[in-house]
């Protein structure tokens, strides 16, 4: 299979590239050039430079797809689904898989959360991308293209600074965790947090690519086998660092107003993130390799290896 991977130098993309190469596929990594392309020492991997904002508008990506005779396109950036879809349709690409986010479903009404709209998404950018995704799914059913989407939760694991106890990806907060400094959470600390290793997120894309017919027209949650309460999330960091991290609880109102007023940060600890992964298991054979605790430990070990926590 010839796969063109947009965003192949990112956190998910590097794992997916390796999985595809190990399976014997040909991979073309599309990147803007801002990040270095990993050296996989594999003659089935190639690299092409495109600027995402321009490559659909000027027709250059469509021309590339026709010339390369690509079988499938994966777009981890998912910034212009309509442009991507039209380019793939015009060039004869048979399969498209894009990356969304569990947050696109809005504030969950049930957990584990299935792949359906729960409430209006509070993030305008995500809502717009979600609408584009849904439109492309409907078009694909008429056009005969296998179009699907993968919705990750909190992406964790080696290669990127993971979520921390303030709802961001701050290395300074991780250093504070390592020192055993206090963390403030909204009472009662039972909100569900869903760390999922980037290797497992990539695996959902891989399974979708390898099961094109079953994946057609579907949205798949990525995730670990279970989620952690916010309290357990913090205590897991304490266990990894072999320390004690005290937790102080405040009301949800105080937390949002005074402790973590940014919606993109406090959302991690005021709304549940616990994806239902049964569809991915049943339809395309996905099985996560890592527990949330293992994904967090792998991420911390990576930060230590990189010298980030000194």
Determine phi and psi for 141, rounding to 5 degrees.
Answer: -65, -30
Residue 246 CA to residue 183 CA, distance in Å, equals 6
The β-bridge relationship of strands 183-186 and 45-49 is: unpaired
Instruction: Enter the CATH code of domain 2-156+197-224+275-284.
Output: 3.40.50.720
pLDDT, position 167: 97
Residue 168 CA to residue 161 CA, distance in Å, equals 9
pLDDT, position 37: 74
Beta bridge partner(s), residue 231:
none
CATH architecture of 171-193+227-273+292-305: Alpha-Beta Complex (3.90)
Tens of pLDDT, residue by residue, the chain (310 residues): 999 999 999 999 999 999 999 999 999 999 887 777 777 777 899 999 999 989 999 999 999 999 999 999 999 999 999 999 999 999 999 999 999 999 999 999 999 999 999 999 999 999 999 999 999 999 999 999 999 999 999 999 999 999 999 999 999 999 999 999 999 999 999 999 999 999 999 999 999 999 999 999 999 999 999 999 999 999 999 999 999 999 999 999 999 999 999 999 999 999 999 999 999 999 999 999 999 999 999 999 999 999 999 8
pLDDT, position 94: 97
Would you kindly state where each structural domain of the chain is located, as residue ranges? 2-156+197-224+275-284, 171-193+227-273+292-305
């Amino acid at each position: 299979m010839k796969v063109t991977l947009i965003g192949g130098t990112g956190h998910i993309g590097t794992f997916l590239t390796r999985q595809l190469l190990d399976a014997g596929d040909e991979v073309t990594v599309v990147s803007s050039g801002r990040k270095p392309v990993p050296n996989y020492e594999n003659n089935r991997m190639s690299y092409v430079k495109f600027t995402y904002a321009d490559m659909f508008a000027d027709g250059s990506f469509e021309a590339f797809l026709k010339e390369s005779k690509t079988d499938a396109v994966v777009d981890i950036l998912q910034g212009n689904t309509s442009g991507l879809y039209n380019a793939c349709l015009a060039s004869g690409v048979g399969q498209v898989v894009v990356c969304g986010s569990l947050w696109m479903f809005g504030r969950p009404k049930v957990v584990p959360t299935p792949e359906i709209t729960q409430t209006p998404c509070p993030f305008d950018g995500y809502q717009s991308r979600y609408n584009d995704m849904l439109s492309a799914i409907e078009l694909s059913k008429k056009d005969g293209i296998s179009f699907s989407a993968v919705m990750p939760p909190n992406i964790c694991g080696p290669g990127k600074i993971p979520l921390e106890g303030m709802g961001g990806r701050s290395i300074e907060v991780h250093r504070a965790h390592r020192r055993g400094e206090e963390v403030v959470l909204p009472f009662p600390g039972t909100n569900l947090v869903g760390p999922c290793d980037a290797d497992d997120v990539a695996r959902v894309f891989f399974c979708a690519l390898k099961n094109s017919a079953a994946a057609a027209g579907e949205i798949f949650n990525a995730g670990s086998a279970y989620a952690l309460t916010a309290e357990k999330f913090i205590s897991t960091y304490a266990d990894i660092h072999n320390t004690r991290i005290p937790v102080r609880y405040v009301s949800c109102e105080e937390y949002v107003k005074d402790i973590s007023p940014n919606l993109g940060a406090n959302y991690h600890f005021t709304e549940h993130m616990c994806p239902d992964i049964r569809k991915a298991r049943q339809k395309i054979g996905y099985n996560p390799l890592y527990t949330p605790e293992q994904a967090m430990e792998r991420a911390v070990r990576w930060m230590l290896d990189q010298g980030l926590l000194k």
